[in-house]
């Protein structure tokens, strides 16, 4: 109830202040255009030298150097390698945060770009190629561009802007905490006290110069699960002498899909259960004692998410029991639902339209991809939106994120810079 009252008061403040706010979009446009070549340069440097989650040491130093050059107050070492910059405006007002994620992925780049990544890293004990295969390099560059523009207009800012450069959005290494969850845990939104947060994601499948947004549930929750099925080992020629965990695992797999297809109202909210790994056994003619299954759950409604968890526990336990085996289910929540507070989204829509042009801002469908930006949104109202990065003439079906061939057209990153800056000036002070 308290959160609803706070949001209502925030909306009322929007209505009162918006009529008195000076439109800064023309000045923002000019400044963003001027800084664009530098934004592209930063982005390409970061693309060439990506780092994995919780290991973004060079990236963090690069960001810190740029912020200190602007005489911005800087905090480092937040959630391991995170960097926070604080711009205190020339006039009193609210505290809002702008966020960009920093980490790359364990992917080997396959492009022929002159700034192609050739970096290596260690992931789960293996040496892997590292690539910005999801565009986090563009996010950092756009936020650095916004920092430059905002510092140049600092006397006109009402309130304080917190620049959040977040590590490990793709997940921390095994056995470590990280990402937005750890930043929130360490108080990144508390000092100064942030009342709203805004984030950008580049979209390889949306034309450059465009913006898309989605009120309410925008991106899915992400749960990772492991199922260990324990049976009784026996010779493959005499299956009746043991209890086959492989056969049980196949039944559990089918049962999990029945949860989505037959027990979830997909017209109200999409959901996905995917088993991505099944392992067990060492020899063709030996039925093993144990099989491990692992996968992910995606939901766009927290009630549906909780119901799927319960249905999975029941399904796994009963199928295993029916075969005389046991099964242990473990579920880890990697990210909640990314939820754009509807009133905040409506209020800031004109800021996005100023950045891209009204005819280039569209309402998006929800997606079953996930974003740990949602941890910030659990703490304060937030808006997360997409900026186009697809070159003209590109086939959208060949622009998948998280692949070796992921490519972004960075010629219109000024749109993201303008969106961030317009939000700052349009948010009521």
Q: Is 38 helix (H, G, I), strand (E, B) or coil?
A: helix
Distance, C-alpha 277 to centroid of its chain:
23
Element (DSSP H or E) covering residue 407: none
DSSP secondary structure letters along 208-275: TT-EEE-SEEEEEEEEEEEEEEE-B-EETT-GGGSB-HHHHHHHHHHHHHHHHHHHS-TTTS-EEEEE
Buried b (16+ CB within 10 A) or exposed e, 384-419: bbbbbbbbeebeeeebebebeebbbbbebbbbbbbb
Two structure tokens written together for 136? 């986090």
Contact by Cβ (8 Å): 194, 96: yes
Contact by Cβ (8 Å): 246, 287: yes
Q: Where are the alpha helices (DSSP H) in 323-373?
A: 342-356
Q: Is 121 helix (H, G, I), strand (E, B) or coil?
A: strand
CA distances from 337 to 245, 302, 303, 304 (A): 34, 7, 11, 11
Q: Which of 29, 51, 66, 103 is catalytic?
A: 103
Contact by Cβ (8 Å): 211, 358: no
Q: Which residues contact 403 (CB under 8 A, 6 or more apart)?
A: 107, 133
Q: ∠ CA(397), CA(200), CA(217), 5° rounding?
A: 80
**Catalytic status, residue 371:** no
Two structure tokens written together for 88? 């205190």
Q: Which of 51, 66, 101, 169 is catalytic?
A: 169
**Catalytic status, residue 103:** yes
Question: Which residues are annotated as catalytic?
Answer: 103, 169
């Amino acid at each position: 109830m308290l959160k609803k009252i706070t949001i209502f008061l925030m909306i009322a403040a929007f209505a009162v202040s918006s009529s008195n706010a000076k439109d800064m979009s023309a000045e923002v446009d000019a400044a963003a255009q001027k800084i664009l070549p530098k934004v592209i340069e930063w982005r390409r440097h970061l693309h060439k030298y990506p780092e994995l989650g919780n290991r973004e040491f060079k990236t963090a130093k690069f960001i810190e150097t740029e912020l200190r050059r602007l005489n911005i107050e800087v905090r480092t070492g937040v959630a391991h390698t995170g960097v926070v910059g604080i711009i205190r405006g020339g006039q009193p007002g609210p505290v809002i945060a702008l966020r960009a994620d920093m980490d790359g992925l364990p992917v080997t780049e396959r492009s022929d770009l002159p700034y192609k990544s050739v970096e290596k890293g260690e992931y789960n004990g293996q040496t892997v190629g590292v690539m910005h295969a999801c565009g986090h390099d563009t996010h950092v560059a756009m936020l650095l561009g916004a920092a430059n523009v905002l510092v140049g207009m600092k006397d006109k800012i009402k309130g304080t802007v917190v620049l959040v450069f977040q590590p490990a959005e793709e997940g921390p290494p095994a056995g470590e905490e990280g990402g937005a969850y750890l930043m929130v845990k360490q108080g990144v939104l508390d000092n100064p006290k942030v009342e709203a947060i805004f984030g950008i994601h580049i979209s390889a499948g949306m034309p450059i110069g465009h913006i898309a947004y989605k009120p309410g549930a925008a991106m899915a929750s992400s749960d990772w699960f492991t199922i260990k099925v324990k049976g009784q080992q026996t010779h493959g020629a005499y299956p009746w002498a043991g209890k086959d965990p492989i056969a049980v695992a196949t039944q559990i797999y089918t049962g999990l899909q029945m949860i989505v297809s037959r027990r979830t109202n997909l017209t109200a909210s999409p959901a996905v259960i995917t088993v991505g790994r099944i392992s067990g056994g060492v020899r063709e003619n030996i039925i093993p004692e144990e099989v491990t299954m692992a996968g992910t759950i995606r939901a766009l409604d927290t009630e549906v998410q909780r119901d799927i968890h319960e249905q999975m526990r029941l399904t796994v336990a009963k199928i295993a029991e029916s075969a005389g085996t046991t099964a242990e289910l473990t579920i880890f929540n990697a990210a909640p639902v990314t939820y754009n507070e509807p009133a905040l989204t409506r209020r800031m829509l004109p800021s996005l339209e100023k950045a891209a042009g009204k005819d280039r801002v569209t309402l998006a469908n929800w997606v079953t991809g996930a974003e740990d930006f949602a941890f910030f949104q659990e703490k304060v109202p937030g808006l997360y939106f997409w900026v186009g990065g697809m070159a003209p003439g590109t086939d959208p079906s060949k622009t998948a994120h998280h692949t070796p061939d992921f490519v972004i057209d960075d010629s219109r990153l000024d749109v993201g810079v303008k969106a961030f800056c317009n939000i700052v000036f349009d948010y009521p002070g």
